[in-house]
Amino acid sequence: MDNGTIIKTRDLTKVYPLGRTSIRALNKVNLSFEQGEFAALVGPSGSGKTTLLNIVGSLDAPTEGSAEVMGRRVETLSHREAAALRSRHIGFIFQSFNLLPVYTAYENVEFPLLLMKMSAAERRKAVLDALEWVGLADRAKSRPGQLSGGQSQRVAIARAVVKRPGLVLADEPTANLDAENSHMILDTMESLNRNLRTTFLFATHDEKVIRHVRRKITLIDGAVAADDRTKPDGGGAS
Protein backbone atom coordinates (compact mmCIF):
# COMPACT_ATOMS: atom_id res chain seq x y z
CA MET A 1 0.00 0.00 0.00
CA ASP A 2 1.37 3.42 -0.96
CA ASN A 3 2.06 5.95 1.70
CA GLY A 4 -1.17 7.90 2.18
CA THR A 5 -3.40 5.16 0.73
CA ILE A 6 -5.87 4.16 3.38
CA ILE A 7 -8.13 1.80 1.44
CA LYS A 8 -7.07 -0.60 -1.26
CA THR A 9 -9.23 -3.39 -2.64
CA ARG A 10 -8.05 -6.15 -4.95
CA ASP A 11 -10.56 -8.22 -6.91
CA LEU A 12 -12.97 -7.73 -4.05
CA THR A 13 -15.91 -10.08 -4.48
CA LYS A 14 -18.90 -10.72 -2.27
CA VAL A 15 -21.44 -13.45 -2.97
CA TYR A 16 -24.57 -13.89 -0.87
CA PRO A 17 -26.20 -17.30 -0.98
CA LEU A 18 -29.91 -17.07 -1.71
CA GLY A 19 -31.63 -20.43 -1.45
CA ARG A 20 -30.18 -22.62 -4.19
CA THR A 21 -28.78 -19.65 -6.08
CA SER A 22 -26.56 -16.79 -5.06
CA ILE A 23 -26.25 -13.05 -5.56
CA ARG A 24 -22.94 -11.54 -6.58
CA ALA A 25 -23.06 -8.21 -4.72
CA LEU A 26 -19.47 -7.25 -5.57
CA ASN A 27 -17.54 -8.52 -8.55
CA LYS A 28 -13.76 -8.08 -8.61
CA VAL A 29 -13.73 -4.49 -7.38
CA ASN A 30 -10.33 -2.77 -7.49
CA LEU A 31 -10.26 0.62 -5.82
CA SER A 32 -7.94 2.67 -3.70
CA PHE A 33 -8.47 5.81 -1.66
CA GLU A 34 -5.94 8.28 -0.37
CA GLN A 35 -6.13 10.04 2.96
CA GLY A 36 -8.32 13.14 2.86
CA GLU A 37 -10.57 12.05 0.01
CA PHE A 38 -14.22 13.06 -0.07
CA ALA A 39 -15.69 10.40 -2.28
CA ALA A 40 -18.98 8.72 -3.04
CA LEU A 41 -20.02 5.31 -4.22
CA VAL A 42 -23.06 5.81 -6.38
CA GLY A 43 -25.31 3.52 -8.27
CA PRO A 44 -28.78 2.02 -8.22
CA SER A 45 -30.12 -0.08 -5.36
CA GLY A 46 -28.44 -3.46 -5.24
CA SER A 47 -25.33 -2.24 -7.02
CA GLY A 48 -23.11 -3.16 -4.06
CA LYS A 49 -22.47 0.26 -2.49
CA THR A 50 -23.44 -0.73 1.06
CA THR A 51 -21.73 -4.12 0.73
CA LEU A 52 -18.48 -2.41 -0.20
CA LEU A 53 -18.86 0.03 2.67
CA ASN A 54 -19.54 -2.84 5.10
CA ILE A 55 -16.46 -4.74 4.01
CA VAL A 56 -14.26 -1.65 4.16
CA GLY A 57 -15.76 -0.99 7.60
CA SER A 58 -14.78 -4.55 8.68
CA LEU A 59 -18.41 -5.33 9.46
CA ASP A 60 -18.46 -7.98 6.76
CA ALA A 61 -15.88 -10.15 5.06
CA PRO A 62 -15.35 -10.62 1.34
CA THR A 63 -15.99 -13.95 -0.34
CA GLU A 64 -12.91 -13.51 -2.53
CA GLY A 65 -10.24 -10.89 -3.00
CA SER A 66 -8.91 -8.57 -0.37
CA ALA A 67 -9.57 -5.24 1.25
CA GLU A 68 -6.76 -3.43 2.99
CA VAL A 69 -7.92 -0.69 5.34
CA MET A 70 -5.49 1.44 7.33
CA GLY A 71 -2.86 -1.20 6.62
CA ARG A 72 -4.95 -4.12 7.88
CA ARG A 73 -6.29 -6.92 5.69
CA VAL A 74 -9.99 -6.99 6.63
CA GLU A 75 -10.56 -10.59 5.53
CA THR A 76 -7.89 -11.85 7.95
CA LEU A 77 -9.13 -10.00 11.02
CA SER A 78 -10.72 -11.78 13.95
CA HIS A 79 -13.89 -10.32 15.51
CA ARG A 80 -11.76 -8.69 18.18
CA GLU A 81 -9.23 -7.25 15.73
CA ALA A 82 -12.00 -5.94 13.49
CA ALA A 83 -13.63 -4.29 16.50
CA ALA A 84 -10.29 -2.69 17.41
CA LEU A 85 -9.89 -1.38 13.86
CA ARG A 86 -13.36 0.15 13.90
CA SER A 87 -12.90 1.51 17.38
CA ARG A 88 -9.63 3.30 16.58
CA HIS A 89 -9.75 4.20 12.91
CA ILE A 90 -13.23 4.13 11.45
CA GLY A 91 -16.30 6.26 12.08
CA PHE A 92 -19.75 5.33 10.83
CA ILE A 93 -22.69 7.47 9.80
CA PHE A 94 -25.96 5.71 9.07
CA GLN A 95 -29.06 6.58 7.10
CA SER A 96 -31.27 6.26 10.22
CA PHE A 97 -28.73 8.05 12.45
CA ASN A 98 -28.58 5.04 14.81
CA LEU A 99 -28.14 7.14 17.92
CA LEU A 100 -28.30 5.16 21.14
CA PRO A 101 -31.79 6.11 22.29
CA VAL A 102 -31.32 6.27 26.04
CA TYR A 103 -28.22 8.45 25.88
CA THR A 104 -28.02 12.20 25.55
CA ALA A 105 -26.28 13.78 22.56
CA TYR A 106 -23.20 14.21 24.75
CA GLU A 107 -23.26 10.55 25.84
CA ASN A 108 -23.77 9.35 22.28
CA VAL A 109 -20.73 11.28 21.13
CA GLU A 110 -18.78 10.10 24.16
CA PHE A 111 -19.59 6.42 23.52
CA PRO A 112 -16.71 5.63 21.08
CA LEU A 113 -14.26 7.29 23.45
CA LEU A 114 -15.39 5.02 26.31
CA LEU A 115 -13.93 2.15 24.31
CA MET A 116 -10.54 3.86 24.17
CA LYS A 117 -8.02 4.56 26.88
CA MET A 118 -8.72 8.20 27.58
CA SER A 119 -9.09 10.22 30.75
CA ALA A 120 -12.45 11.73 31.65
CA ALA A 121 -11.09 15.25 31.10
CA GLU A 122 -9.74 14.37 27.65
CA ARG A 123 -13.03 12.73 26.79
CA ARG A 124 -15.00 15.74 27.86
CA LYS A 125 -12.90 18.11 25.79
CA ALA A 126 -13.08 15.87 22.72
CA VAL A 127 -16.86 15.49 23.01
CA LEU A 128 -17.45 19.23 23.45
CA ASP A 129 -15.12 19.98 20.53
CA ALA A 130 -16.98 17.50 18.31
CA LEU A 131 -20.35 18.95 19.26
CA GLU A 132 -18.95 22.40 18.58
CA TRP A 133 -17.81 21.32 15.09
CA VAL A 134 -21.34 20.22 14.21
CA GLY A 135 -22.91 23.27 15.87
CA LEU A 136 -24.74 21.38 18.61
CA ALA A 137 -22.83 22.35 21.73
CA ASP A 138 -26.04 23.77 23.16
CA ARG A 139 -27.92 20.48 22.67
CA ALA A 140 -25.46 18.31 24.57
CA LYS A 141 -28.06 17.25 27.13
CA SER A 142 -30.81 16.50 24.64
CA ARG A 143 -31.86 12.95 23.99
CA PRO A 144 -32.35 11.67 20.43
CA GLY A 145 -36.12 11.94 20.80
CA GLN A 146 -35.74 15.66 21.44
CA LEU A 147 -33.65 16.29 18.31
CA SER A 148 -34.77 16.90 14.72
CA GLY A 149 -33.55 14.60 11.93
CA GLY A 150 -30.87 17.07 10.89
CA GLN A 151 -29.69 17.53 14.48
CA SER A 152 -29.65 13.77 15.03
CA GLN A 153 -27.49 13.25 11.96
CA ARG A 154 -25.14 16.01 13.12
CA VAL A 155 -24.80 14.24 16.47
CA ALA A 156 -24.05 11.06 14.50
CA ILE A 157 -21.37 12.94 12.57
CA ALA A 158 -19.88 14.24 15.81
CA ARG A 159 -19.88 10.66 17.12
CA ALA A 160 -18.16 9.47 13.95
CA VAL A 161 -15.37 12.07 14.07
CA VAL A 162 -14.90 12.55 17.82
CA LYS A 163 -12.08 10.01 17.97
CA ARG A 164 -10.40 11.66 14.94
CA PRO A 165 -10.60 8.55 12.78
CA GLY A 166 -8.72 8.27 9.51
CA LEU A 167 -11.86 7.15 7.73
CA VAL A 168 -15.56 7.92 8.01
CA LEU A 169 -18.02 5.69 6.19
CA ALA A 170 -21.44 7.18 5.58
CA ASP A 171 -24.25 5.05 4.23
CA GLU A 172 -26.99 7.21 2.69
CA PRO A 173 -26.46 9.94 5.31
CA THR A 174 -28.99 12.32 3.74
CA ALA A 175 -31.71 9.86 2.78
CA ASN A 176 -33.90 10.77 5.76
CA LEU A 177 -33.26 14.50 5.64
CA ASP A 178 -34.82 17.42 3.81
CA ALA A 179 -32.79 19.53 1.39
CA GLU A 180 -31.85 22.20 3.90
CA ASN A 181 -30.62 19.71 6.49
CA SER A 182 -28.87 17.67 3.81
CA HIS A 183 -26.86 20.71 2.72
CA MET A 184 -26.12 21.60 6.30
CA ILE A 185 -24.69 18.20 7.19
CA LEU A 186 -22.81 17.92 3.90
CA ASP A 187 -21.22 21.30 4.59
CA THR A 188 -20.34 20.08 8.07
CA MET A 189 -18.72 16.93 6.74
CA GLU A 190 -16.88 18.78 4.02
CA SER A 191 -15.54 21.22 6.55
CA LEU A 192 -14.38 18.36 8.81
CA ASN A 193 -12.80 16.71 5.79
CA ARG A 194 -10.83 19.85 5.00
CA ASN A 195 -9.93 20.74 8.57
CA LEU A 196 -9.19 17.31 10.00
CA ARG A 197 -8.05 15.59 6.77
CA THR A 198 -10.54 12.83 7.53
CA THR A 199 -11.37 10.63 4.56
CA PHE A 200 -15.10 10.45 3.90
CA LEU A 201 -16.57 7.67 1.80
CA PHE A 202 -20.28 7.82 1.06
CA ALA A 203 -22.69 5.27 -0.32
CA THR A 204 -25.48 7.31 -1.87
CA HIS A 205 -27.72 8.03 -4.78
CA ASP A 206 -28.59 11.51 -3.52
CA GLU A 207 -27.64 14.13 -6.09
CA LYS A 208 -26.98 16.66 -3.34
CA VAL A 209 -24.23 14.44 -1.96
CA ILE A 210 -22.85 13.73 -5.39
CA ARG A 211 -22.57 17.48 -6.03
CA HIS A 212 -20.47 17.88 -2.89
CA VAL A 213 -17.98 15.04 -3.37
CA ARG A 214 -14.73 15.36 -5.24
CA ARG A 215 -14.72 11.80 -6.52
CA LYS A 216 -17.60 9.70 -7.75
CA ILE A 217 -17.34 5.94 -8.22
CA THR A 218 -20.25 4.39 -10.04
CA LEU A 219 -21.06 0.79 -9.27
CA ILE A 220 -23.30 -1.25 -11.52
CA ASP A 221 -24.11 -4.86 -10.63
CA GLY A 222 -21.26 -4.99 -8.17
CA ALA A 223 -18.58 -3.78 -10.57
CA VAL A 224 -16.93 -0.38 -10.99
CA ALA A 225 -18.52 1.22 -14.03
CA ALA A 226 -16.91 4.65 -13.68
CA ASP A 227 -14.47 6.48 -11.42
CA ASP A 228 -14.70 10.24 -11.94
CA ARG A 229 -12.92 13.05 -10.20
CA THR A 230 -15.51 15.78 -10.19
CA LYS A 231 -13.49 18.43 -8.38
CA PRO A 232 -9.81 19.07 -7.78
CA ASP A 233 -8.04 18.50 -4.45
CA GLY A 234 -8.89 14.81 -4.36
CA GLY A 235 -6.92 11.72 -3.48
CA GLY A 236 -5.58 8.92 -5.59
CA ALA A 237 -7.57 7.03 -8.16
CA SER A 238 -8.04 3.35 -8.61
Partner 1 sequence: MKLLKLAVRNMLAAGTKTWLNALVLSFSFVAIIWAQSLFKGLDQESSRALTDIEYGGGQYWVEGYDPLDPFSIRDAHKPVPPELAALETEGRAAPVLVVQGTLYAGGRMQSVLLKGIPPGQRLLILPTASLAPADRETPALLGTRMARAAGLKKGDMMTVRWRDVRGTFDARDFVVAEVFETTVPSADTGVVWIPLEDLRRLAGAAGEATLVVVEKGYVSGPAVAGWTFKDTGFLLRDIREFIEMKTIGSSIFYVILLALAMLAIFNTQVLSIWRRRREIGTMIALGLTRARVIALFTLEGSMLSLLAVLVGAVYGVPFLAWFAAHGWVMPVGQADSFGLALGNTLYPVYSVGLVAGTALLVFAVTTVVSFLPTRRIAKLKPTEAIKGKLS
Residues that bind partner 1 (CB under 8 A): 50, 54, 57, 59-60, 79-80, 83-84, 86-88, 92, 94, 96, 98, 100-103, 107, 111-112, 114-115, 159
Question: Which residue, 167 or 214, has its beta carbon nearer to partner 1?
Answer: 167
CB of 1 to partner 1, least distance (A): 22
CB closer to partner 1 out of 83 and 226 = 83
By beta-carbon proximity to partner 1, the closer residue of 57 and 236 is 57
Give me the least distance between CB of 51 and partner 1, in Å please.
8
Work out how close the CB of 18 gets to partner 1 at its nearest, in angstroms, rounded to a whole number: 14
- Which one, 60 or 206, has the nearer CB to partner 1? 60
**Cβ 4 to partner 1 shortest distance, Å:** 24
The 3-class SS string of the chain reads CCCCEEEEEEEEEEEEEECCEEEEEEEEEEEEEECCCEEEEECCCCCCHHHHHHHHCCCCCCCEEEEEECCEEHHHCCHHHHHHHHHHHEEEECCCCCCCCCCCHHHHHHHHHHCCCCCHHHHHHHHHHHHHHCCCHHHCCCCHHHCCHHHHHHHHHHHHHCCCCCEEEEECCCCCCCHHHHHHHHHHHHHHHHHHCCEEEEEECCHHHHHHCCEEEEEECCEEEEEEECCCCCCCCC
User: By the 8 A CB rule, do 199 and 6 touch?
Assistant: yes
CA of 109: how far to CAs of 27, 135, 136, 155, 170, in Å? 36, 13, 11, 7, 16
Q: Which CB, 20 or 79, lies closer to partner 1?
A: 79
> Minimum CB separation from partner 1 for residue 191, in Å?
23
Q: Which is nearer to partner 1, 34 or 206 (CB)?
A: 206
Q: State the nearest-atom distance from the C-beta of 94 to partner 1, in Å.
A: 6
